[in-house]
């Protein structure tokens, strides 16, 4: 479970500098409200045929509701590192556990929600069990099809996912 303030129940994140060095920690509302640089992780789940699991965020999500995004994603809690956060998010959002491999890092800026984001991959044919508070629906698609969809309808997708899929296209 992510670190949170015991009295308010609010999550705490590390505020970081442009090079991703920790400066201090603060509650989520302060970090987001002040547009402070902080950390996030995304996980792409690939099945044995190479299809990528993407999901549509619920309407209740604070940021970018009802948009498609990575298989799982979330903030890195204060004092936490990227890979444990990715394992936690994968389990919390999809009830999946697996070996992660690091794929890419995007440095923070306004176009990606002020988040330094590390993308991890996971290969599994295990059936996901989506958390209904996070995920409205999911599907497996060929990454090239996802890239075409992002190109044709970018507003269907979250900002960080669009940046990650652009990187993925260029790296192939």
| pLDDT recorded at residue 2 | 44
Q: Where are the alpha helices (DSSP H) in 56-138?
A: 82-94
Q: Three-state SS across 124-165?
A: CCCCCCCCCCCEEEEEEECHHHHHHHHHHCHHHECHHHHHHH
| pLDDT recorded at residue 157 | 98
* pLDDT per residue of the chain (172 residues) written in tens, 0 to 9: 345 454 567 899 999 999 999 999 999 999 999 999 999 999 999 999 999 999 999 999 988 999 999 999 999 999 999 999 999 999 999 999 999 999 999 999 888 889 999 999 999 999 999 999 999 999 999 999 999 999 999 999 999 999 999 999 999 8
| pLDDT recorded at residue 62 | 86
Q: Which class would CATH give 12-171?
A: alpha beta
| pLDDT recorded at residue 112 | 87
Question: E strand or H helix at 44, and its extent?
Answer: strand 38-46
């Amino acid at each position: 479970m992510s670190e949170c303030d015991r009295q308010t129940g609010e999550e705490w994140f590390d505020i970081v500098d442009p090079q991703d060095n920790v400066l201090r920690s603060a509650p989520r509302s302060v970090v987001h409200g002040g547009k402070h640089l902080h950390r996030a992780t995304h996980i792409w789940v690939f099945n044995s045929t190479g299809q990528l699991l993407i999901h549509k965020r619920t309407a209740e999500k604070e940021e970018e509701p009802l948009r498609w995004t990575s298989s799982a994603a979330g903030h890195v809690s204060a004092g936490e590192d990227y890979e444990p956060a990715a394992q936690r998010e994968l389990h919390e959002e999809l009830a999946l556990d697996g070996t992660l491999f690091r794929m890419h890092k995007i440095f923070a800026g306004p176009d990606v929600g002020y988040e330094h984001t590390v993308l991890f991959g996971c290969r599994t044919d295990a059936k996901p069990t989506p958390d209904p508070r996070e995920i409205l629906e999911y599907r497996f698609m060929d990454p090239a099809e996802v890239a075409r969809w992002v190109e044709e309808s970018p507003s269907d997708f979250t900002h960080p996912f669009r940046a990650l899929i652009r990187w993925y296209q260029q790296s192939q």
